[in-house]
Amino acid sequence: MQAGWFPDPVGDHEFRYHNGSEWTGDVATDGERGVSPIPTRRPDRRSGALAMVFGIISLSTGWIPFVSFVAAVFGIVAVVVGWRRRGVESARGAATVGIVTGVCGILLSGVGIWLSVVIVRSIADFEDPGPHEVELTECVDVDGTTRVTGAITNLDDRERSYTVVVSLDEDTTVDAVVSDVPGGERRVFQAVEELRFDDLDCSVLEVNGPRPFGMAQS
């Protein structure tokens, strides 16, 4: 850029003189010259605050299953932005907070991601009990208590656990939990319901894997 008078980039005056390398304080308005220094640039604290906000969000939500994936990204952003802004005096405090909370959020997100994997695997095991054979061998009323006896055979190569849902009548079911059946073995199970049914009609409604985290049937 050549030296000369140009429209004032600050906007405070009509013209400002550029000496060929930088703007000067020489200004002119309506033909009258004066001196007006270039305003000092206001400190930019926004990037430091952004790092802090992302870090706090990551730290607050990192442990939550599935949300932890997003929290990990927020933590990385907090660390990267905070690291870049740590050298700016006005942003150093917020940037440091962003780095610390971001790192903690990333570590905590590891816990959340692990919990997510555990939940997904538990649901998959419940919905897929593997190959099996099941039969009911007895369904009787004993002094006002209904007792169901049966057996399940694990046809898989690995150990399996089962939740056998037995229907007692049109409206009532009972669960029989069968745990840790080795591959190829048969295990007898029994379920008891403290009720007497006028129209007792036992049948296997469905067979699932173990209920996730021991959740009871709703």
Residue 90 sits in the same domain as residue 107:
yes
pLDDT tens-digit series, residues 133-183: 999 999 998 888 899 999 999 999 999 999 999 999 888 899 999 999 999
Q: Do 157 and 198 sit in the same domain of this protein?
A: yes
Cβ atoms of 50 and 81 closer than 8 Å: yes
Domain endpoint, select from 71, 93, 127: 127
The DSSP output letter for 152 is: E
Q: Residue 87 — very low, low, confident or very high, per pLDDT cuts 50/70/90?
A: confident
Do 148 and 188 fall into the same domain?
yes
In a shared domain, residues 191 and 136: yes
Last residue of one domain, picked from the residues 105, 127, 149: 127
The answer on 138 and 111 residing in a single domain is: no
> Average pLDDT over the chain, rounded to whole?
90
198 and 147 in a single domain? The answer is yes
Buried/exposed 65-87: b ≥16 CB within 10 Å, e otherwise: beebebbbebbbbbbebbeebbe
pTM of the complete model:
0.64
Domain count, the chain: 3
Q: Are residues 172 and 119 in the same domain?
A: no
Q: For the domain that residue 150 is a member of, what is the CATH number?
A: 2.60.40.10
List C-alpha distances in Å: 185 to 29, 53, 155.
Answer: 98, 56, 8
**pLDDT band at 90, cuts 50/70/90?**
confident
Residue 102 sits in which domain range? 46-127
pLDDT value at 120 more than 60: yes
Integer CA distances (angstroms), 84 to 64, 81, 153, in order: 28, 5, 62
Residues in the chain: 218
Could you tell me which residues come within 8 angstroms of residue 106 by beta carbon, excluding any fewer than 6 positions away? 58, 62, 72, 75, 76, 79
Centroid of chain to Cα 174: 34
Q: Mean pLDDT over residues 116-137, rounded?
A: 95
Token output for 8:
């004032």
Tell me the CA distances in angstroms from 117 to 45, 64, 110, 161, one per residue in order.
Answer: 39, 12, 11, 19
DSSP H or E run through 97: helix 92-127
What digits encode the pLDDT tens for the residues 13-33? 899 999 988 889 899 998 889
The total of other beta-carbon atoms located within 10 Å of residue 163's CB is: 18
Q: Looking at the structure, tell me whether residues 171 and 189 fall in a common domain.
A: yes
Contact 188, 151 (CB under 8 A): yes
In a domain, 41, yes or no: no
For residue 55, what pLDDT band results from cuts at 50, 70 and 90?
A: very high
Domain-located, residue 71: yes
